[in-house]
């Protein structure tokens, strides 16, 4: 819940200039997920750049109807979105979203043609209690219960809650351990999906640690939080993936 109309304007003007360095490099995908109220403005601004795609920070599990305050997947598509985040830890924590509701949101997003970015991750207390593996696997299996096909055209993101906005970051090795577990769990259901599914890391990602994280075999990119608010800082992270 950051930004303003002026910041959105300045951000996209600056970032689009940086992104020209990609020169149609199809191996790099960049999606930016502003707050709902800035989506139309952002869609207009990023339409001039072939390198930047648009996403939303959340989506309703419901079709359009009497759900005041919610945003339907079809509305996001109409705004120009191609992606939506689903199950972000702050939604789980502050809005008490259950695994079941998150699974329904993922299905609604896919049905509308959006690519969901499904977030899983553990709290500091859960990591200390050595519950990381159980927590992330349970969150993953709540969606896998719908069938492994739901992960076709989906992106997975591991975001340790204790590392979000705290300045703490899972070491590349710690992150890789969880990413490998997630991929192995998926492989039990569908090896093809497991081998092709992008798994992102999120949790105080910045330019100084991005390259080391991206070097891990099961880390395919980043779900960037605070560092994405500054166009130059965000570009430095993107550049680490080139």
188 classed as catalytic: no
Distances from the Cα of 68 to the Cαs of 118, 120, 180, 207, in angstroms? 24, 27, 40, 39
Token digits for 45?
Answer: 């601004």
Confidence (pTM) = 0.95
Q: How confident is the model at residue 56 (pLDDT cuts 50, 70, 90)?
A: very high
Residue 143 is predicted with a pLDDT of 96
What is the domain partition of the chain in residue ranges? 5-239
Residue 191 is predicted with a pLDDT of 96
pLDDT of 13 strictly over 90: yes
7 classed as catalytic: no
Contact 38, 64 (CB under 8 A): no
> Of residues 88, 90, 97, 179, which has the active-site annotation?
88
Q: How confident is the model at residue 202 (pLDDT cuts 50, 70, 90)?
A: very high
What's the chain's average pLDDT? Answer: 94
> Of residues 90, 97, 122, 159, which has the active-site annotation?
159
Q: Just give the CATH number of 5-239.
A: 3.20.20.70
């Amino acid at each position: 819940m950051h930004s303003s109309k002026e910041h959105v304007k300045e951000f996209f003007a600056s970032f689009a200039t940086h992104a020209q360095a990609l020169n149609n490099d199809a191996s790099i995908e960049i999606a930016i997920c502003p707050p709902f109220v800035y989506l139309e403005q952002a869609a207009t601004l990023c339409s001039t750049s072939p390198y930047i795609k648009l996403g939303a920070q959340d989506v309703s599990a419901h079709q359009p109807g009497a759900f005041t305050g919610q945003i339907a997947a079809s509305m996001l598509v109409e705004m120009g979105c191609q992606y939506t985040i689903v199950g972000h830890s702050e939604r789980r924590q502050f809005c008490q979203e259950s695994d079941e509701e998150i699974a329904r949101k993922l299905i609604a997003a896919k049905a509308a043609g959006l690519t969901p970015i499904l977030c899983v991750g553990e709290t500091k207390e859960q990591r200390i209690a050595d519950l990381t593996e159980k927590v992330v696997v349970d969150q993953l299996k709540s969606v896998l219960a719908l069938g492994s096909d739901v992960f076709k055209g989906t992106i997975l993101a591991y975001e340790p809650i204790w590392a979000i906005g705290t300045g703490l970051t899972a070491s590349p090795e710690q992150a890789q351990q969880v990413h490998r577990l997630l991929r192995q769990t998926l492989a039990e259901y569908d090896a093809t999906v497991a081998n092709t599914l992008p798994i992102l890391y999120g949790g105080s990602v910045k330019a100084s640690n991005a390259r080391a994280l991206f070097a891990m075999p099961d880390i395919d990119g980043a779900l960037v939080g605070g560092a994405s608010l500054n166009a130059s800082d965000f570009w430095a992270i993107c550049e680490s993936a080139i």
